[in-house]
Structure 1
Amino acid sequence: MATLFVADIHLSVQEPAITAGFLHFLRRQAAHADALYILGDLFEAWIGDDDPAPLHDEIAAALNALAQRGVPCFFIHGNRDFLLGKDFARACGMTLLPEERLLTLYDRPILILHGDTLCTDDLAYQRYRRRVNQRWLQRLFLALPLKWRLRIAGRMRADSQRANGAKSQTIMDVSPQAVVATLERYQAQWMIHGHTHRPAIHTLDIRGGSAHRAVLGAWHHQGSMVRVTRDSVELIEFPYN
């Protein structure tokens, strides 16, 4: 058996092929797993659990069906869906996790996270992240009418795209020092994350030995997962169907 990890699916009504691919993945691959971990950015944007979008109901039903089959599903918030709340998680039958979680899978210590907290060289993004993760600001935003939230979210996405277009790729990637410090803090052998959309498995030196970092790919054109078994950790990319 295996435990599966995905991130950066970026589901939206504008990308029906990605939705179809993710639903196919849940039925054909995740249904046979020990567990599924979604490491953030399941959705392109999330403006509140009260958004009545049919896509949300479709995904909730599919994840709930997975849970009913006995496959537990866990979720770590990403930078796109950090407002995803307990009501939607309950509808999905999935468990919300903190931004970092140390697992022990098949006797292997694995640290999981979305990955944006590792991009410490991007000072502007880290300032933005601290601001939008203030609980009082989130409560204020969620109290606004839905149409206002849609307008604000659209403007924020446009601003983010413009800002990222002016940044170097190096700044938007993880900081090696942050990766090493985080692994050493948890004394983890492996780290799995998404966010950067740069799928790869890296080996690095940490205090006391070596460690590995598996980076999940985004689902823009194909699926991407990390498959962990007792014998291996694999990064696998696959077609939507």
Structure 2
Amino acid sequence: MTTLFIADLHLSADRQDITDCFLQFMANETANIDALYVLGDLFEMWIGDDDNSPFHQQIKHAFKQLTDSGIPCFFIHGNRDFLIGKRFSEETGVQLLAEHTVIDLYGTPTLILHGDTLCIQDVDYQRYRKKVHNRFIQWLFMRLPLSRRLKIGTKIRGSSSENNQRKDLDIMDVDGKAVIDMLQAYHVNQMIHGHTHRPDVHQINMNGQQATRIVLGDWYDHGSVLVVTPECSQLQTRQFN
């Protein structure tokens, strides 16, 4: 009995090494697992489900093979791929979850999320997030030609990278109070998320109760996988070939 969690792969046609590692992971490590959870930023950029590039078709095929084998796969949107929608789900069999979802993880109620909603000290990012998650703005964006959306997405991605280089690293990390508030709001003592690219297991004293926050790693230098069994949880790495 094993459940796997991954996040922040930032897959793109420009990083074949990451893509190869992901495809090997899907082919060799997902057989006979109970479920696979992808907690956002699977792609470096997603401008709409109608982008049927050969690269995207390759990734979708890997998920379809997994779900066709009877293994459930779940996805929570990240800040880079929040436009993944119903068509992607239908083509892959991947089930889309709410941005904050509680699951029963071998008897332990666990809150899973991408993690960006916990970074409340990054005011500029939260303002941007609110804007791009506006349904009307998304509706307008999706009515632009695919080529135009690609140019806009590439420009936003470049601006975001430049802005992050100027920010204090602590501002882009989660806020401790926001973590506790969310754990209490969902009445759980365990949380799993990505986004910050700081893999670790944090123990939290929450009003006398012990809580756990597990942070998934990114896939920039090696693959990062959280392996959970009824007995334990372990953050593991996968080396690029």
**Distance in 2 between the 1:148 and 1:200 partners?**
39
**Distance in 2 between the 1:94 and 1:30 partners?**
14
Q: Deviations over 1:128-150 (max 9, x none)?
A: 00000000000100100111101
**Distance in 1 between the 2:187 and 2:123 partners?**
26
Question: What does residue range 1-241 of structure 1 map to in structure 2 within 5 Å?
Answer: 1-240=1-240
Post-superposition, which runs of at least 4 consecutive aligned residues in structure 1 deviate over 4 A? none
- Quick check: 2:193–2:214 contact (8 Å CA) kept in 1? yes
- Quick check: 1:118–1:178 contact (8 Å CA) kept in 2? yes
**Distance in 2 between the 1:225 and 1:141 partners?**
33
**Distance in 2 between the 1:139 and 1:234 partners?**
40
Deviates more, 1:5-14 or 1:229-238: 229-238
In the alignment, structure 2 segments of 5+ residues that lack a partner are none
- Quick check: 1:25–1:240 contact (8 Å CA) kept in 2? no
Percent of aligned pairs with the same residue? 50
SS, match of residue 36 in structure 1: strand
Q: Deviations over 1:87-126 (max 9, x none)?
A: 0111111100000000112111111000000000000000
**Distance in 1 between the 2:213 and 2:21 partners?**
26
**Distance in 2 between the 1:177 and 1:49 partners?**
36
- Structure 1 residue 69 displacement after superposition: 1.3
**Distance in 2 between the 1:53 and 1:208 partners?**
52
- Quick check: 1:39–1:194 contact (8 Å CA) kept in 2? yes
- Structure 1 residue 214 displacement after superposition: 0.6
- Quick check: 1:216–1:224 contact (8 Å CA) kept in 2? yes
How does the TM-score come out when normalised to structure 1? Answer: 0.98
- Structure 1 residue 161 displacement after superposition: 1.1
CA RMSD of aligned residues (A): 0.9
- Quick check: 2:21–2:238 contact (8 Å CA) kept in 1? no
- Quick check: 1:115–1:194 contact (8 Å CA) kept in 2? yes
- Structure 1 residue 235 displacement after superposition: 1.2
- Quick check: 1:8–1:40 contact (8 Å CA) kept in 2? yes
Deviates more, 1:119-128 or 1:199-208: 199-208
**Distance in 2 between the 1:192 and 1:226 partners?**
9
In the alignment, structure 1 segments of 5+ residues that lack a partner are none
SS, match of residue 202 in structure 1: strand
- Structure 1 residue 238 displacement after superposition: 2.0
The amino acid that maps onto 2:32 is: H
- Structure 1 residue 185 displacement after superposition: 1.1
- Quick check: 1:48–1:84 contact (8 Å CA) kept in 2? yes
How does the TM-score come out when normalised to structure 2? Answer: 0.98
**Distance in 2 between the 1:32 and 1:169 partners?**
39
Deviates more, 1:174-183 or 1:205-214: 205-214
SS, match of residue 169 in structure 1: coil
**Distance in 1 between the 2:18 and 2:68 partners?**
23
**Distance in 1 between the 2:183 and 2:213 partners?**
9
